[in-house]
Amino acid sequence: MKRHMSEMRKITAFLPADLLAHAQANTGVGVTETLRAALEGLNRAAWYRKVLALEGKVAVDVDLEALREDREFDEAGDIVS
């Protein structure tokens, strides 16, 4: 996934070669892309922890039966009444 970055930083990082090699094998991309994916994963994990901390603290009024009803959609993906 490509993102527009307003500011980029060039870094030098000393990493265990086997750790980097395994990470690259998992991502299938180069060093920069692997490190970016890892940092994005850390940010996502922090966001998930914050959301999970809200469990039971946010009042949600949802009609589950209405959500479960089948709906018809037109070619544009809009719901047909």
- For the stretch 18-67, pLDDT in tens is 999 999 999 999 999 999 999 999 999 999 999 999 998 989 888 888 88
| Count of other CB atoms within 10 angstroms of residue 40 | 12
Continuous H helices in 1-81: 17-27, 31-53, 64-68
Q: What is the pLDDT of residue 1?
A: 52
CA gap 16, 56 in Å, rounded: 41
pTM: 0.64
Output 40 or 5, whichever has higher pLDDT. 40
